[in-house]
A and B are shown apart, each in its own frame.
Chain A
Amino acid sequence: EAGVAQSPRYKIIEKRQSVAFWCNPISGHATLYWYQQILGQGPKLLIQFQNNGVVDDSQLPKDRFSAERLKGVDSTLKIQPAKLEDSAVYLCASSFTSGGVPYEQYFGPGTRLTVT
């Protein structure tokens, strides 16, 4: 079974530039998550999709971050404009969903973003 795919793996940009990350979840997983992980900390949820609808985006800085999941499969996360404090690893995860039971999430390798 193929895992969660993410690209690019690394990205270096200057502040005020824009950047986009792509995620392809495990086949059949209806729920997709984007997390931000700052060095030395646990992942922090940015947004959760179920199929192509947003379930939770309460911690997404909507003035600069946006995300979409067209057709309920692939997803993209965009930052525009980037700030120095956005330097982090951006993780995508997916999970099976059934009857409201919390299932484990499977993570991709992440994209390491450096903003200079």
Chain B
Amino acid sequence: EDQVTQSPEALRLQEGESSSLNCSYTVSGLRGLFWYRQDPGKGPEFLFTLYSAGEEKEKERLKATLTKKESFLHITAPKPEDSATYLCAVQPPGQNFVFGPGTRLSVLP
């Protein structure tokens, strides 16, 4: 069965303390991997799409990378407004999107 896991489950950082979130998948092949941010009481907000191993995307303090079996979301010098749940989703060939459980990030001032 295809699985998507995310680690850590929760992460607390001090403002300015860089770190990385992990998304691992065991799907057979990959059509795309997506990162979303979700604030409490809101729907997920699209961040990045990665299609092939070695691909990288950047947006402000966030950088997403992709290998054959996992993706990392690197957060450089985070600010309190980066606090949210970060979700990854994969789309295996011929199947629909599968979301991971998310990582709850808290950035303390």
Binding site for B on A (CB under 8 A): 4, 33, 40-45, 48, 55-56, 91, 93, 102-110
Contacts and interface: CB of A to CB of B under 8 A. Distances in A.
Name, among A56, A91, A104, A106, the residue most crowded by chain B CB atoms within 10 Å (CB to CB): A104
B73 interface: no
B43 A108 contact: yes
Contact of B44 (A43, A44, A102): A43
A48 B96 contact: yes
B43 A102 contact: no
B45 A105 contact: no
Interface in B30-49: 31-32, 34, 36, 41-46, 49
B102 interface: yes
A42 B99 contact: yes
A45 B45 contact: no
Given A102-B31, A104-B34, A44 B42 contact: no
B102 A91 contact: no
Given A102-B32, A105-B97, A4 B43 contact: yes
B87 interface: yes
Interface of B: 4, 31-32, 34, 36, 41-46, 49, 87, 89, 91, 96-102
A93 B31 CA distance: 19
Contact of B45 (A42, A43, A44, A107): A107
Contacts of A93: 43
Nearest to A9: B41
Contact of A110 (B43, B45, B91): B43
In order of increasing CB-CB distance, the 7 nearest A-B pairs are A107-B43, A42-B99, A102-B32, A104-B46, A102-B91, A107-B44, A43-B99
27 contacts: A4-B43, A40-B101, A41-B101, A42-B4, A42-B89, A42-B100, A43-B44, A43-B99, A45-B97, A45-B98, A55-B96, A56-B96, A102-B31, A102-B32, A102-B49, A102-B97, A103-B49, A104-B49, A105-B46, A105-B97, A106-B46, A107-B36, A107-B43, A107-B45, A108-B43, A109-B43, A110-B43
